[in-house]
């Protein structure tokens, strides 16, 4: 169901929803407004929801035998930041995703797609003109 949402400031945001029912039972619900996706909850009502990138990162680290400590050292980040990304309690930022991709030897664009981030921060070394 495509559409638009109007904000208080008169701005309009794109909206898209997927809903599937079987009789009167809701089988699927997912909504997206601008860059925010709302989907089925995993946590109880009122509890924070982990970011799905955490589960993917955890599996990638486990498959490669990379510890939180090693990834923190390779990215130059604190262990608490690395652990928060791994558990899904830290939303992936494009810069962090880029650092993790380099540390794990994964193409940056691929990991950014998995993380659901769009790297809008320009890489100065690629955009310099002479």
pLDDT value at residue 127: 41
What CATH number should be reported for the domain holding residue 74? 1.10.260.40
Residue 47 belongs to a domain = no
Average pLDDT of the chain to the nearest whole number: 80
Q: Is residue 101 part of a domain?
A: yes
> In this structure, is residue 103 part of a structural domain?
yes
Tell me the longest C-alpha to C-alpha distance in the chain.
64
The answer to whether residues 25 and 62 belong to one domain is no
Contact 40, 50 (CB under 8 A): no
**Structural domain span for residue 70:** 53-115
CB 81 within 8 A of CB 68: no
Is the confidence at residue 106, as pLDDT, over 70?
A: yes
**Tokens 């809701």, residue located:** 26
pLDDT per residue over 40-84, tens digit each?
A: 666 666 666 788 899 999 999 999 999 999 999 999 999 999 999
Residue 104 lies in a domain: yes
């Amino acid at each position: 169901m495509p559409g638009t949402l109007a904000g208080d400031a008169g701005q309009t945001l794109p909206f898209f929803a997927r809903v599937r029912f079987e009789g009167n039972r809701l089988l699927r619900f997912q909504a997206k407004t601008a860059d925010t996706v709302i989907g089925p909850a995993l946590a109880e009502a009122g509890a924070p929801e982990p970011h799905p990138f955490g589960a993917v990162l955890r599996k990638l680290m486990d498959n490669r035998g990379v510890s939180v400590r090693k990834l923190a050292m390779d990215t130059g980040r604190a262990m608490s930041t690395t652990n928060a990304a791994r558990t899904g309690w830290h939303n992936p930022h494009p810069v962090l995703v880029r650092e993790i991709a380099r540390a794990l030897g994964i193409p940056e664009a691929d990991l950014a797609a998995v993380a659901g981030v769009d790297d809008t921060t320009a890489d100065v070394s690629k955009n310099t003109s002479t």
